[in-house]
Chains A and B, each alone.
Chain A
């Protein structure tokens, strides 16, 4: 756990940044600065959500459970959002899993404090409503993406969304992880990665992905990327 800075420090999380200064100052003492560690479980299926997280950096992946053992990614959240939205919607127990997919840091708040803040008549609920809409768009897009798009296009989209949230064109990722995220076997991930590499869009070695041609990767990605991005960009409170 790192020492928390003052409320005057720059605010990286976009939802917190959208709050009026006075409201953020009131909220600030209840926020705890924590690191997001790669692979860490933020919350598990069927568990009480005790805290909500506002990422400053990094990525958290939301996984729906499939059968008893497997999972499938339905959305990712970075500094544009909050993890633990069900608490705001009135639901305490999670029906999916959230894990850290890209390391970074977040501000964490106890669920009960968060609910009190939501009920205080400030701007926070409006911001959260708006984010709910964005997240619904993203999840809807995932649903159709799984139906219609090729693995390569999905991989390209996923790499772009990750790169946007990590704010870097280079990040570590294992094939096993990608296979869980995209809902396909490792061999299929490998094949697609090789194709993207042959087309000089990425390089992939020793668990590190580097995007070498972002424009080209955007062309390769399915339309879902642009739609999700446009929705996030239209975010106004």
Chain B
């Protein structure tokens, strides 16, 4: 991890951007910029958390680890969110692992500074609580999705979310990584991706997925994509400026 960016860039994170000037000024001296490489473990299941992370260009995935080692993603956060809800919920450890799923930058905040600002009953607290409710919906929807939807539908949903967070139609991603995220075997991902490619929705070459037809992907995805996106807008939309 190396220091990369000026602290004002923290406002590339939508939750930070939603803070009024005085709260941001107070907070920014404690926001530490970090550069996160692909696959880096932000925290491990059961480990004591030290920081909450606000991604600006990175995507961090919340993975659940089963006893036999298999994993499945239960949620993710990019510039729309944060990682480390347990810290302000007084739980200090979590039963999941947070892993960098797309390399990039984030700003992190130490527990103490976080809890201090959270305790002031200002916008920071309000945004973080609402984000927690959003996270609950995201995870609930993952439950629904895992129970009811096909790998292909889930893959579409997953690609759309990544697209939204990265604002690019090219994703660097191996089938192995996707399989770990979706909690299915690699072959399952390959078959689904092959299908989507045949339908002209994506192109997959050497670890790069290019989205060719966004509308088509939205149609092919399960309802979960829309449900979660609408919930974000409902809970946080009015605080978040549309032009960042």
Q: Which residues of A contact B (CB under 8 A)?
A: 62, 64, 66-67, 72, 74-75, 85-86, 88-91, 93, 95-96, 119, 126, 129-130, 132-137, 139-148, 183, 223, 227, 231, 237
Contact = CB atoms under 8 A, between A and B. Distances in A.
Contacts of A237: 90
A126 B119 CA distance: 10
A128 B231 CA distance: 22
A66 B148 contact: yes
Interface residues of B, number: 39
The winner among B64, B90, B121 for most chain A CB atoms within 10 A is B90
B57 interface: no
Interface stretch (B134-142, B157-165, B186-194): B134-142
Interface of A is mostly: helix
A130 B129 contact: no
Nearest to B92: A133
Contacts of A145: 143
Contacts of B129: 88-90
Contact of B144 (A64, A134, A223): A64
Given A140-B95, A148-B183, A72 B147 contact: yes
B136 A136 contact: yes
Given A64-B143, A136-B85, A144 B135 contact: no
Given A90-B126, A90-B129, A67 B86 contact: no
Nearest to B149: A66
Contacts of B89: 129-130, 132-133, 136
A63 B88 CA distance: 26
Given A66-B148, A143-B146, A144-B146, A136 B130 contact: no
Contacts of B234: 93, 95
B223 interface: yes
B132 A148 contact: no
Interface string B66-81: 1100101010000000
B25 interface: no
